[in-house]
Structure 1
Amino acid sequence: MLAAEMAGCISKKLIDGGAAEVLGVDNSEEMVATAKKNFGDVKGLQFKHQSISAVHYNGAGDFDVAVAFFVLQFMKDEKELRSAIRNIFYSLKADGLLVAIVPNGVKDYNPTRTDGLKFGAAVNLKEDRQLHDGRRLDVEFLHPVISDEGLKLYGEEFFASYLNPPKDIVIRAHKIRNL
């Protein structure tokens, strides 16, 4: 499936999962137009053409949850990336949640898990998983999980290059209230 064909799918899944209102933001006019065409009639679902790095929140915190699936890697430079993350932070209510997925960035490199850890290609935060940026975010790096059903159906070897190192990094960050 092409990216344009998937426009709005994640937003629709959030509505299907119980969200009362979802605002999908994309800097591609084509993606927004396709999302509106596909899901424009869904109650509680809106789409807006805008770059997350250009949205300016004054800290009002309108959102309980923000998702950025395969978004942050498209920022053109560090300044734009910092702006995007800052805007997401300020868009969240106190105790809000950000879930982001970004590609690992280790192209065509499939070491064993031991080698991946040895060379820094895999991140593993378990015991002391809390990282804080100015004590305002509780950040977790989540590891991909393959279901028992998936392992039974395809076997461990099938998923080896996906898991070692993980192709995508999932980040969950809670906004810390009143520190």
Structure 2
Amino acid sequence: MPLTFTLDPPVDTALRDGILTLWVDVSDADGAVGFVPPVNPDDVRAELVRHLVSMAEGRTRLLVGRDEQGAVAATAFLTYNTHQLMRHWVWLYTVMVHPRHQGKGYGRGLMHAAADAARGFDGIEAIRLTCRGGTGVDDFYASCGYKEVGRVPDAIRVAPGDDRDDITMLLPLY
């Protein structure tokens, strides 16, 4: 059964805790979402609070995918640009599908829902995202229509001696 996606759901304790659990579980499964395993939930909570503040300020929007039990199974954050010359595209951050749901097509559904959401934003023509090289996720994003538009070699230090490229990808919406 596909996920049910909601843009800008009301943020309550259950949603906040669901996102936190998702983020910790994805990170601990070696997902490239800002942390390396094992993660401390308090570190993830601090980053989640930054996302929630940005949402409250109107700079970021949240897309949530829920499974058939109503649990948070996927998320993506879409953030507006504040630079006056770059307001025609948004950033896509913290794209996550719970490890128990991977391989079911939910990631592709999340990417499609994010593009549909962005098409509904006034004046938005494209989505940009960055991803960590060496994970294969850039191939996934390419299969969703994103094109690599930049790469900074060894920009992400996962661990001493393990540096990864920072890859920037773009999806034109029209």
What's the TM-score, normalizing by structure 2? 0.29
What's the TM-score, normalizing by structure 1? 0.28
Max Rg structure: 1
- Between Structure 1 and Structure 2, the one with more strand by share is 2
